[in-house]
Amino acid sequence: MSTSEQPDPSRGLRAGLAGRYEIESELGAGGMAIVYRARDAQRDRAVALKVLRPELSAATGIERFEREIRVASRLVHPNILPLLDSGVTGGLLWYTMPLVEGETLRARLDRERQLPLDEALQITAEVAAALGHAHERGIVHRDIKPENILLASGHALVTDFGIARALSDTNDRLTASGLALGTPAYMSPEQSAGERDIDARSDLYALASVAYEMLAGEPPFTGPTVQAVMARRLSQPAPSLRVIRPAIPEGVDAALRRALATTPADRQASTAEFVTALQREGTGAGASAGIARPRRWSLAVSAGVLGVAALLALQLPMWRARPATDGTSVARPRGTADAIRLAVLPFRQIGGDASDRYLADGLTADVASALANLGGVRVIDQASVASLQASAKGAREIGTILRIDALVDGDVQKSGEAIRVRVRLVDPASEEAKWSQAYDHTARDVFQVQSEVARKVAGVLRIQLAERESRTLERPPTTNPDAYDAYLKARAQARARGGLERPAQADSIIASLTQAVRLDSTFARAWALLASTLVSTVFLYDAPASRLDQAERAIAIALGIDSSVANAWKARHDLEWNAVRGWHFAEALSDVRHALALEPSLVEGHNGLGSLYFHYGFTGKAREELEASLSLDPRDGCDDSTRCVGFSRPRVARVLWYEQKFDSALAVYARMPYLGGFVWEKAVVLTGAGRPTEAMAVLDSALAAQGPETADRAAARALALASLGRRDEALVAVRAATLNPASRSHSHHSQFTIACAYARLGHAKEAVAWLRRTAENGMPNYPLFRDDPSLKGLQGVAEYETLMAGLKRQHEANRALVYGDRTM
């Protein structure tokens, strides 16, 4: 029977999967499987459902299939597309994967035939990383080929881990049916010969064959029949790439030919060794140079390309895919005046071991998050609430300070596997409980508490739940108790004093979250928290930038599983707008707005949006967001420590500085007990207010207290000295600032102050050059460049006027993004 004549199994599947998966359409079909677009009814998400052909299902056996799928599903790696679920229905074996927008490498090669060297090496490196991860765990893929490599979100994803292994014992039975396992053009000689005990070097051979095709336009061995291909592979060495493409470096050719050796012992020992050789020879810069950061491949996918891509049923959300713009999903609800303000006090731990404290802390955070996802509620940030509870204030006083309408408190008691959670909803004014209830669970289902409490609180407060909110509450975050336990530990650690700012504690949080997603690869919230943690460590204390690549994959997985997780959108905003990845204003703006549409109480979202606005000169909008953040977190992320700077207050002062409201900015600083790294901004504001002598005193005190001059403080000192007419000293200071103008991802602030100092000194050329750097480095703040008093002397300078004309056009374009069709 031909492929086109194969019976369509979807009719029986639809009935058998009813209530679990709803089949929506067929995406593609091959000799071994049919792929459908389906909706996961439990989690309300789109997935790719791949169903093996009836004869293949019959030959494989349910037990073996489920065993191999179960092993493969434990693989968690940025370059591996996870297996979500599997089963048997009506005798047909099936499994599901995230639905990902992209195309297969096969589709790309069909369209372009040969790829640029750097892209081919990057794809090879990422596939090798995925294979290396599997090989370390004793898993061999057995079917690496362009059809099983997806290009999405600017990265390569390897698919179908475990499938070839599950089918490997069925080959003899299937051959008679006209089906064959493996792909001759990429199979290693030992696999072609039918050896059962193949190892990682077989995958290496297949990967080298794919790499060869990306560069040459065809696999290393071709022929009119399968037998001809196998004969050539066994009788001939791999042909030189340089015959087909002379520009390929000799070292790359040699590394490929070694990986394509007939005898496994003659190949590199691992995929990592293979990639190291390619990188060393491909970059021409030594092994440590690595491959340049991958470009985001253009996937302008035509209908024809989609047909090829659909054979694997892979359509994960692309990195650049934007949320819907129909006005309902992106436009943030502004009804904050009508929203109920609510605080969740940290749940008390009753008895038990001190090591179980994380359970109460984690449940507190999860209940607060569940309530924060309700559009009619604004939940006060946990940092502000916890600091007040720690000071032993009563409900009435807490209510007055936080200006809340309701308060949730509770306690957690753990005895063996049994967990009792008691929760109350309290009216702060009367200190009366309006509702209370005890929930008895075990560690295996305690994750249900958050949705049960949120639904009950919403009912008592008469909050009408939207359909999306109801669906979210009905959907458990995970069904794996151990994964949830690891997640709660991570949440509790993140909320602890010091949080992510301590590298060791951040690494512990990352380890807990990695464990959570390893135990349940469909745990979207854990993926999102892992992503945001990875991003934060890079910008808090300069952790390796490679963590951003890990975060990117975690975000893609989280949103592929559940696109309603606000933290994933906020983390994506962070990746869209920084010095390492570039300053993508439109994308970052869309992402953070979408995060706030999903969770209006997300303090980090308001902070991020406010920061984005003031960098681009929209100070009025920035003030709105920063004030919203302070409304939700009056303590600004601080406890009772006097050495806490906070996030929003110093940025409110910065907005006032940018508006030339220097006295108002100084009033904000006066209310801050500790300025920390923002002390240089106070000095700049003092200079702007005509008080440079006081600015110098502030900087001298900082030098004594904080140690050697930073670029920020050196630039502020240069500006103050220039204002005092001490030109020689100012030139020394500004040149010191230019030697090290970077400050993590925000060097544009010191660059702007350097420009102001040069302008005060009358060095117009240098001033304009540093303004241009500032604009190119994430701060094209046209109103600030136009109105700052230090820059008035640049008016009429040709280079300045040219720069400003371009920035004005850019600002007007950005205004359209910020305000839509409205004008100010």
Domain of residue 798, CATH code = 1.25.40.10
> Are residues 689 and 810 located together in one domain of the fold?
yes
Judged against a pLDDT cut of 80, whether residue 81 lies above it is answered with yes
User: Higher confidence at residue 468 or residue 140?
Assistant: 140
The DSSP H or E segment spanning 419 is: strand 418-427
Paired tokens of 736: 């010191």
User: Higher confidence at residue 194 or residue 529?
Assistant: 529
Instruction: Please check whether residue 702 lies inside any domain of the structure.
Output: yes
Pairing of strands 377-379, 149-152: unpaired
Predicted local confidence at residue 808, as pLDDT: 95
Paired tokens of 613: 């606005």
Instruction: Please check whether residue 490 lies inside any domain of the structure.
Output: no
Neighbours of 246 (CB within 10 A): 8
**Long-range contacts for 397-405 (Cβ within 8 Å, ≥24 apart)?**
398/343, 398/345, 398/428, 399/428, 399/429, 400/428, 401/634, 402/341, 402/343, 402/634, 403/341, 403/631, 404/341, 404/342, 404/343, 404/380, 404/428, 405/340, 405/341, 405/342
* Nearest CA-CA partner of 203 in 143, 138, 148: 143
Q: Which of 265, 300, 335 is the last residue of a domain?
A: 300
Judged against a pLDDT cut of 50, whether residue 296 lies above it is answered with no
The DSSP H or E segment spanning 175 is: helix 171-175
Judged against a pLDDT cut of 80, whether residue 453 lies above it is answered with yes
Give helix 727-739 / helix 747-760 axis angle, nearest 10°. Answer: 160
User: Higher confidence at residue 98 or residue 289?
Assistant: 98
pLDDT digits (tens, 9 = 90+) for 357-390: 888 887 888 888 888 888 788 898 877 787 776 6
CATH of the domain at 278: 1.10.510.10
* Cα distances (angstroms) measured from residue 707 to each of 135, 444, 567, 677: 49, 52, 36, 12
> Are residues 295 and 334 located together in one domain of the fold?
no
Total residues found in the chain within this entry: 824
* Cα distances (angstroms) measured from residue 85 to each of 139, 351, 674: 19, 39, 52
- Asked if residues 601 and 570 have their Cβ atoms less than 8 Å apart, the reply is no
Among 249-253, 318-322, 666-670, 778-782, the range scoring the smallest mean pLDDT is 318-322
Judged against a pLDDT cut of 50, whether residue 284 lies above it is answered with no
Query: 355: Cβ–Cβ under 8 A, 6 or more apart, which residues?
Result: none
Judged against a pLDDT cut of 90, whether residue 149 lies above it is answered with yes
> Are residues 136 and 261 located together in one domain of the fold?
yes
Predicted local confidence at residue 743, as pLDDT: 44
Residue in this structure with the two tokens 């690891």, named with its chain if needed: 486
Instruction: Please check whether residue 464 lies inside any domain of the structure.
Output: yes
Predicted local confidence at residue 616, as pLDDT: 97
CATH of the domain at 352: 3.40.50.10070
Query: 19: Cβ–Cβ under 8 A, 6 or more apart, which residues?
Result: 41
Predicted local confidence at residue 722, as pLDDT: 97
Whether the model pTM is above 0.75: no
Rounded mean pLDDT of 100-116? Answer: 90
CA distance 439 to 458: 17
Give the confidence band of 285 by pLDDT, cuts at 50, 70, 90.
very low
Q: Which of 300, 335, 353 is the last residue of a domain?
A: 300
- Asked if residues 577 and 316 have their Cβ atoms less than 8 Å apart, the reply is no
* Cα distances (angstroms) measured from residue 673 to each of 641, 650, 691: 10, 11, 21
Provide the 3-class DSSP secondary structure of residue 95: strand
Q: How far is CA 531 from the centre of its chain?
A: 4
CA distance 625 to 765: 36
> Are residues 135 and 276 located together in one domain of the fold?
yes
Neighbours of 257 (CB within 10 A): 17
> Are residues 112 and 254 located together in one domain of the fold?
yes
Instruction: Please check whether residue 638 lies inside any domain of the structure.
Output: no
Give the confidence band of 326 by pLDDT, cuts at 50, 70, 90.
very low
Q: Catalytic residue at 562?
A: no
- Asked if residues 674 and 643 have their Cβ atoms less than 8 Å apart, the reply is yes
* Nearest CA-CA partner of 140 in 118, 159, 162: 162
Paired tokens of 506: 């951040």
- Asked if residues 104 and 152 have their Cβ atoms less than 8 Å apart, the reply is no
> Are residues 384 and 467 located together in one domain of the fold?
yes
Pairing of strands 406-415, 418-427: antiparallel
Average pLDDT, the chain: 82
Angle (CA) 133-137-139 rounded to 5° is 90
Phi/psi of residue 92, each to 5°?
-100, 130
Query: 416: Cβ–Cβ under 8 A, 6 or more apart, which residues?
Result: none
Predicted local confidence at residue 55, as pLDDT: 76
> Are residues 121 and 260 located together in one domain of the fold?
yes
Instruction: Please check whether residue 799 lies inside any domain of the structure.
Output: yes
Write down the catalytic residue from 85, 143, 520, 562. 143
- Asked if residues 47 and 27 have their Cβ atoms less than 8 Å apart, the reply is no
Instruction: Please check whether residue 470 lies inside any domain of the structure.
Output: yes
Rg of the chain taking only CA atoms, in angstroms: 30
pLDDT digits (tens, 9 = 90+) for 520-567: 888 999 999 999 999 988 887 777 888 888 998 899 888 878 888 999
Predicted local confidence at residue 9, as pLDDT: 54
> Are residues 261 and 358 located together in one domain of the fold?
no
- Asked if residues 324 and 330 have their Cβ atoms less than 8 Å apart, the reply is yes
Predicted local confidence at residue 338, as pLDDT: 66
> Are residues 362 and 230 located together in one domain of the fold?
no
- Asked if residues 770 and 754 have their Cβ atoms less than 8 Å apart, the reply is yes
Residue in this structure with the two tokens 């990902």, named with its chain if needed: 100
* Cα distances (angstroms) measured from residue 608 to each of 239, 355, 491, 567, 589: 54, 34, 20, 12, 9
User: Higher confidence at residue 417 or residue 298?
Assistant: 417
Q: Which of 476, 507, 533 is the last residue of a domain?
A: 476
> Are residues 196 and 343 located together in one domain of the fold?
no
Strands (E), 514-647: 577-578, 582-583
User: Higher confidence at residue 664 or residue 389?
Assistant: 664
Paired tokens of 75: 């693989």
Judged against a pLDDT cut of 80, whether residue 774 lies above it is answered with yes
Predicted local confidence at residue 274, as pLDDT: 94
Give the count of domains, the chain: 3
Instruction: Please check whether residue 271 lies inside any domain of the structure.
Output: yes
Residue in this structure with the two tokens 């493409």, named with its chain if needed: 245
Among 2-6, 214-218, 443-447, 522-526, the range scoring the smallest mean pLDDT is 2-6
Residue in this structure with the two tokens 């470009």, named with its chain if needed: 295
* Cα distances (angstroms) measured from residue 623 to each of 31, 50, 380, 613: 60, 50, 19, 9
Taking phi over 0 as left and psi of -120 to 50 as alpha, with beta for the rest, 462 belongs to left
Rounded mean pLDDT of 399-421? Answer: 89
Paired tokens of 656: 């006032």
> Are residues 235 and 328 located together in one domain of the fold?
no
Domain range for 751:
675-817
Q: Give 744-773 as a DSSP string.
A: TT-HHHHHHHHHHHHHHTT-HHHHHHHHHH
Helices marked H in 217-259? 226-235, 241-244, 250-259
> Are residues 130 and 273 located together in one domain of the fold?
yes
The DSSP H or E segment spanning 816 is: helix 798-819
- Asked if residues 741 and 747 have their Cβ atoms less than 8 Å apart, the reply is yes
Instruction: Please check whether residue 388 lies inside any domain of the structure.
Output: yes
Provide the 3-class DSSP secondary structure of residue 644: coil
User: Higher confidence at residue 396 or residue 542?
Assistant: 396
- Asked if residues 452 and 439 have their Cβ atoms less than 8 Å apart, the reply is yes
pLDDT digits (tens, 9 = 90+) for 5-19: 445 556 678 888 888
